[in-house]
Amino acid sequence: MLITCVIAGAAIWLVYRLRSVLLPFCVAAFVAYLLEPFVQFNRRLLNLKGRVLAIFITLFEATFFVGILCYFSIPMITSEMGHMGHLLKQFSESELDIPFMPDGIHEFIKKYVDFDYLSGLMKTDDYVKFVENVLTSTWQVVTSGISIIVGLLSWFIVFLYVIFIMLDYERLSATMRHMVPPSYRRIVFRIGADVKRSMNHYFRGQALVSFCVGVLFCIG
């Protein structure tokens, strides 16, 4: 028991010391796991034998989808934030009688929340000015420019990890299967298949629920 506790403590300490390296790898592995079904779909759709072209097509599709989503959502978000800034300023300057909200909470919010700063930060129709305000606020929190460079480098490393993990995804999966002792492979693989099937159903169900909720919110 003592040896087991020492080994477990050493493993936890090692993971803690290597967290800056393991975190990008774990994020990249999760992204590669999410994109793997799309890679296989592109391979079947385009009759591709290798994985390289299918991977880059999948990455292009994901980037294009995220770009289109940002193109349509960022103007709406900035418009809604400008409206929210106006409401915050109105809330701070007027005496409002809000149902089901005690007056003490209203006074507490007005006393300790700087609504002028929040409304000035949100109430803008200039996207560039809005981004500058956000970056300025973030810069006040991040006190060193080196941290920003390291952060950008970490995201670039995540992108590289995603590409290399996706290239060797099938071989990595096979290698992980061979790491299980032969006497335990049957039960471990059965449990792994159950977990994979359940996770796929869960994520698909949650995506459907989120889509329905989004449609209802847009209608509202």
Q: Could you give the CA distance from residue 59 to residue 79 in angstroms, rounded to a whole number?
A: 30
> pLDDT tens for residues 105-115?
666 666 666 66
- The number of CA neighbours under 13 Å toward the Cβ of 90 is 9
pLDDT reported for residue 160 = 86
> pLDDT tens for residues 56-105?
999 999 999 989 988 888 888 888 887 877 777 776 666 666 666 666 66
Q: Which two tokens stand for residue 69?
A: 């989503």
Give the distance between the most distant pair of CA atoms in the chain: 73
Residue of 114 and 169 predicted with greater confidence = 169
Q: Which two tokens stand for residue 51?
A: 């994985």
Single out the residue of 48, 30, 28 nearest to residue 39, CA to CA: 48
Q: Could you give the CA distance from residue 74 to residue 57 in angstroms, rounded to a whole number?
A: 25
Q: How many residues does the chain have?
A: 220
Single out the residue of 125, 155, 121, 175 nearest to residue 28, CA to CA: 155
Q: Are 89 and 119 in contact (CB under 8 A)?
A: yes
DSSP string across 33-49: HHHHHHHHHHHHHHT-S
Q: With a cut of 60, say whether residue 125 has pLDDT above it.
A: no
pLDDT reported for residue 128 = 56
Mean pLDDT on 212-220: 92
Q: Are 96 and 106 in contact (CB under 8 A)?
A: yes
Domain positions in the chain are: 22-172, 180-220
Q: How far is CA 39 from CA 34, 35, 44, 210, in A?
A: 10, 6, 9, 24
Q: Which two tokens stand for residue 187?
A: 């039960």
pLDDT reported for residue 142 = 52
Q: With a cut of 70, say whether residue 121 has pLDDT above it.
A: no
Q: Could you give the CA distance from residue 164 to residue 159 in angstroms, rounded to a whole number?
A: 9
Q: What percent of the chain has pLDDT over 90?
A: 17
Mean pLDDT on 132-146: 57
> pLDDT tens for residues 59-72?
999 999 989 988 88
Q: Could you give the CA distance from residue 201 to residue 184 in angstroms, rounded to a whole number?
A: 26
pLDDT reported for residue 65 = 92
